[in-house]
Amino acid sequence: KNEVEQSPQNLTAQEGEFITINCSYSVGISALHWLQQHPGGGIVSLFMLSSGKKKHGRLIATINIQEKHSSLHITASHPRDSAVYICAGFDGGATNKLIFGTGTLLAVQP
Amino acid sequence: EAGVAQSPRYKIIEKRQSVAFWCNPISGHATLYWYQQILGQGPKLLIQFQNNGVVDDSQLPKDRFSAERLKGVDSTLKIQPAKLEDSAVYLCASSLGVLAGNTIYFGEGSWLTVV
């Protein structure tokens, strides 16, 4: 069992739909990244958060450190949002290693 | 602000050959990471530098992989000799430091195919 689990693994949505991707972790995490990876592309950091909620454009990320859960929401989804979304937590150790989630493949259809 | 630069973007080599990847982190970033991402899997940390010192290389296959970060800025990752299972994307990333409040920035990756 992965220390960082995401759900769903695959998600297909229609353009304009509200999308939620969930991330749960079984280890202590001091902060968490939400990352986006397009096919053939590098990884882009969308959010880094350790508490509460952050918003950037149509993207919203929330985290509850005590409940070991984070969510990424996309409002008014668009085909260009199609990508793999990965949550990754800092383990809080001396080197603050990132523990990566299993990834969610999102396809937004026009 | 310039991002993390990597080169080459794509490389195809035969097994047992050698290859080197270069990374230029964001200016001022003390921490530099090399990750290996095999198709369909999440990134795996190969090595982490703090300035020019290694802080974690526990998952680096040291019999064939080496990395250095001379002068605490640019870094190179070398594979010699390459094996078929080394086919992957090699991602370089950097951050201001190891504190959890520091965002990690990734490069576009160097795609390696070993045939």
- Model confidence pLDDT, tens digit, residues B39-91: 888 899 999 999 989 999 999 999 999 999 988 899 999 999 999 999 999 99
CB pairs under 8 A between A and B: 53
* Residue A66: CB atoms within 10 Å: 7
B98 contacts on A by Cβ (under 8 Å): 94-96
* Alpha-carbon B82 to chain mean position: 15
User: Per residue in A7-45, is it b (16+ CB within 10 Å) or e — as a string?
Assistant: eeeebebeeeeebebebbbeeebebbbbbbbeeeebbeb
Nearest to B49 by CA among A35, A95, A3: A95
Name the phi and psi angles at B85, rounded to 5. Answer: -70, -5
> What is the block-wise mean pLDDT of chain A (110 residues), using blocks of 10 residues?
87 97 89 89 88 96 92 97 94 81 94
* Residue B17: CB atoms within 10 Å: 14
Q: Is the pLDDT of residue B36 over 70?
A: yes
CA distance B108 to chain A (A): 4
Q: Is the pLDDT of residue B113 over 90?
A: yes
Are B77 and B18 spatial neighbours (Cβ–Cβ below 8 Å)? Answer: no
Q: Is the pLDDT of residue B1 over 70?
A: no
Query: DSSP labels for B50-93?
Result: ETTEEEE-TTS-TTTEEEE-GGGS-EEEEESS--GGG-EEEEEE
Q: What pLDDT is attached to residue A77?
A: 97
User: Do B101 and A48 make contact, defined as CB atoms within 8 angstroms?
Assistant: yes
For the CA atoms of A85, A90, A95, A97, what is the dihedral angle to 10 degrees?
A: -40
- Model confidence pLDDT, tens digit, residues B89-98: 999 999 988 7
From the list A42, A48, A96, the residue facing B91 with the nearest CB is A42
Q: Hey, which residues 53-92 in chain B have their CB within 8 Å of chain A?
A: 55-56, 91
